[in-house]
Amino acid sequence: MITKELVELMSSTIGVSSTTGVGTEFWLELINHTSLQDSTLNTIPPKLEFKEQNNTIQRVLLYVEDNPANLMLVEQIIEIKPDISILTASDGNMGIALARAHLPDAILLDINLPGISGFETLKILREDPSTAHIPVLAISANAMPQDGDKALKAGYWFYLVKIQRA
Ligand code: MN
Share of the chain above pLDDT 90, in %: 37
Domains of the chain: 1-31 (no CATH), 52-166 (3.40.50.2300)
Q: Output the CA 66–ligand 1 centroid distance in Å.
A: 5
User: How far is the centre of ligand 1, averaged over its atoms, from the C-alpha of 13 (Å)?
Assistant: 25
For residues 7-31, average pLDDT: 70
Going from the Cα of 113 to the center of ligand 1, the distance in angstroms, rounded, reads: 5
- Cβ–Cβ under 8 Å, residues 87 and 64: no
Distance of CA 117 from the midpoint of ligand 1 (Å) = 9
Give the tens place of pLDDT for each residue, 37-62.
444 444 444 444 444 455 667 899 99
* Cα-to-centroid distance, 74 and ligand 1 (Å): 14
pLDDT in tens, 76-88: 888 888 889 999 9
Q: What is the pTM of this model?
A: 0.64
- As a whole number of angstroms, the distance between CA 107 and CA 126 comes to 12
Ligand 1 centroid–CA 154 distance in Å is: 18
Instruction: Supply the pLDDT for residue 73.
Output: 87
Question: What confidence score (pLDDT) does residue 162 get?
Answer: 74
- Ligand 1 centroid – CA 20 distance (Å): 37
Span from the CA of 111 to the centroid of ligand 1 (angstroms): 6
Q: What distance in Å separates the CA atoms of residue 45 and residue 95, rounded to the nearest whole number?
A: 27
DSSP-derived 3-state class of residue 127: helix
**Shortest CA distance to 157 belongs to which of 122, 124, 114?**
122
Q: What is the pLDDT of residues 112-166, one digit of tens each?
A: 999 999 999 999 999 999 999 999 998 887 777 788 888 888 888 778 877 766 5
